[in-house]
Amino acid sequence: MPSQIEIRSAGRRLPAAERVAIAVLGTDRGSAPEAPRALRGSLDRVVRRRGWKGDEGQSGEAELGGGRTLAVYGLGEAKKLDGRRLRKIVDRAVADAVSANARSLAIILPDHACARGERNAERLGREVLLAGYRFDRLRSERKSAKLREVTLVPPAGEGKSFAAGVAAGAAIGSGVVLARDLANTPPNEATPAWMVARARELARRHRAQIRVLGPAELRRKGMGGILAVGGGSANPPRMVRLEWGRGPLTIALVGKGVTFDTGGISIKPAAQMEEMKWDKCGACAVLGIFEAVARLRLPVRLRCYLPLAENMPDGAAYRPGDIVRLANGKTVEIYNTDAEGRMILADALAWASSEKPDALIEYSTLTGACVVALGPTGAGVFTPHDGLAAGLLAAAEEAGERLWRLPLWEEFLDEMRGTHADLINSGGRWGGASTAAAFLSQFVGGLERWAHLDIAGPAYRGEGKDRRGATGYGVALTVNWLRRGEA
């Protein structure tokens, strides 16, 4: 498993790895100044082969002796070189090492600007950890990768900052791996109770406080939204609160945890319903963020709220036409039981905001409308606070996770006002991502620094057998945002 790979940074001396990877520019023709002297002969044998141009995507191998292998990768033209291209080379080098059954790999990074800086080193460290990710613990024939150690050799003069960046990247990558593993776990295993057990494990490991509300406590706290959504399931709902750390700021994170979503009485079409095991990606991302923050020991007080429920259609399920009272006293008329995420989030947001954090961020695979607007590669951020929006967008850019601000105009809230109740839980056809966000805005009290991230597009990949699965979206951008200290 990728979480077992040890990632480290070395000095400029060549590590004794079974496989050594080096990237060269097309114009270098083998004259890469960062290549250790011990590699020169093997490197020359590759780049002097007929047809070698060092183009992006081109590669070659040569023996180093003693059963070791040199892998050479082309970077293409210097003027087109950027961090994205370098990370692709790292991905490929790790994948090739796994295919070759190598136990150890050294990657020698070129002395070019795109590799410099602690944050670039961090992204490379994260990339290494995730490059060979697979969720295969439930397969009868598991193809366990032998790769256990990857050493990144930094550009000249980058030793200390590069090592710090790689270590941070490994910690963040571990949070992403956790989020992926939790989200990819199937719904017959990953029930609300199972998610609670995973949260308890995290709390024990990092000495955090944890509180879990079952149905009786949810009723006492007036959390009618999560009780309604979970009412039709044999697996009762739960609400989890985790608290960790100390610092000048208290940050609340809320993550949607619908462990499986049939749509309830307003049942979904059968096609692609199996993807609804990923409707818990928001809660999984929050637990991944918690893991990364605790590993990095960031100076922040972190509170995490996980509303966990399974949306099933039986005789006890909530119905269209029902009116439900939520934790802050507001009533909601149900128009569509498949608009369940906002119901459980409303109760969690009301609880989180009542404890007066400095800022609140919420993550949910909330609407197909956001996927229509932004496609599968980017999430939408909704917030009334310009400074919070700017900070999150900048942190996402640093992390390589696409994020785009979408509007919260008053007209969207007007669309969600009810006739027989304060609100309705589903608006009309247009602006569905924004009307959902407007609904959530009614449960944050007077808190100004709050944001809703609709991660329905990038949270998982549903197509292509080789690429299917959760992405752990949101972990890296949130850690970056927390480290910026702008909350």
Stated pTM of the model: 0.92
Please check whether residues 151 and 254 belong to one and the same domain: no
Three-class secondary structure of residue 477 per DSSP: helix
Asked whether residue 448 falls in the same domain as residue 341, the answer is yes
Helix (H, G, I), strand (E, B) or coil at 48: coil
Residue 164 located in a structural domain: no
Rounded Cα distance, 437 and 154, in Å: 44
Residues 151 and 185 in one domain: no
- Where does the pLDDT of residue 404 fall: very low under 50, low under 70, confident under 90, or very high at 90 and above? very high
Same domain for 195 and 142, yes or no, is no
pLDDT band at 280 (very low <50, low <70, confident <90, very high): very high
Count of the separate structural domains present in the chain:
2
- Is residue 167 domain-resident? no
- Residue at 169 is within a domain: no
State whether 188 and 137 are in the same domain: no
CATH number, domain containing residue 387: 3.40.630.10
pLDDT band at 484 (very low <50, low <70, confident <90, very high): confident
Q: How many C-beta neighbours within 10 Å does residue 406 have? A: 20
- Indicate whether 10 and 70 sit together in one domain: yes
Residue 116 lies in a domain: yes
Q: Write the DSSP assignment of 204-235 as a string of letters.
A: HHHT-EEEEE-HHHHHHTT-HHHHHHHTTSSS
Q: Which two tokens stand for residue 117?
A: 């800086």
For residues 445 and 314, state if they share a domain. Answer: yes
For residue 59, being part of any structural domain is answered with: yes
Number of neighbouring beta carbons within 10 Å of residue 411 = 12
Q: Domain boundary at 140, 155, 170, which?
A: 155
- What are the beta bridge partners of residue 70? 20, 62
Does residue 165 lie within any of the structural domains? no
Helix residue ranges, H only, 150-214: 159-184, 192-206
Q: pLDDT tens digit string along 151-181?
A: 888 777 677 788 888 899 999 999 999 999 9
Beta strands in 96-183 (DSSP E): 104-108, 149-153
Is the separation of the CB atoms in 295 and 177 below 8 Å? Answer: no
Closest CA to 120 of 93, 76, 92, 154: 154
Report the DSSP pairing between strands 68-74 and 209-213: unpaired
Q: Where in the sequence numbering do the catalytic residues fall?
A: 268, 342
Q: Which residue has the tokens 């070659």?
A: 60
Does residue 136 sit in the same domain as residue 81? yes
Range of the domain at 335: 178-484
Q: Do residue 130 and residue 226 come from a single domain? A: no
Q: What is the CATH number of the domain that holds 148?
A: 3.40.220.10
Q: Look at 330 and 11; give whichever has higher pLDDT.
A: 330
Identity of the residue numbered 142:
R
Buried b (16+ CB within 10 A) or exposed e, 85-106: ebbbbbebbbebbbeeebebbb
- Verify that 271 and 345 share a domain, yes or no: yes
Evaluate whether residue 172 is within a structural domain. no
pLDDT for 344: 98
Within-domain flag for 199: yes
**245 and 97 assigned to the same domain:** no
Output the pLDDT for position 2: 39
* Whether the Cβ atoms of residue 195 and residue 182 lie closer than 8 Å to each other: yes
Per-residue pLDDT at 142: 64
Could you tell me if 229 and 322 lie in one domain? yes
Tokens of 68: 């070791």
State pLDDT tens for residues 1-43.
334 577 777 666 677 889 999 888 776 554 555 677 777 788 8
